[in-house]
Amino acid sequence: MEIDGIGPAAREAMGDQAGVLSAAVAESIPLAMFAFFDNCPAATLIQGLAVLIVAIFFATSSDSASLVVVMLCTVSADPGRKS
């Protein structure tokens, strides 16, 4: 029993498409996100935003990792620029 009733409504809205999404997940988990977005309005815009968000995530993760490496390799308490 589902409390909010969204599950049955989503299954009804998907209709025959539900099998396509589960097949995409079975085929490739990273690409399943784009298969899911294909069922949304403005799918191209949402897919573009998803790529941008993932790219920003990797850039900030790389920057954080670089900061940690600098902090581990320096003996100074402040790993910033040296004047």
pLDDT digits (tens, 9 = 90+) for 16-50: 666 777 777 788 887 878 887 887 788 889 889 98
Please give the Cα distance from 28 to 36 (Å, whole number): 12
pTM of the model: 0.56
pLDDT higher at 60 or 83: 60
| Tens-digit pLDDT profile for residues 40-49 | 788 889 889 9
CA distances from 36 to 2, 48, 56, 59, 62 (A): 22, 14, 21, 25, 28
The pLDDT of residue 81 = 62
Q: Which residues touch 82 (CB under 8 Å, ≥6 apart)?
A: 76
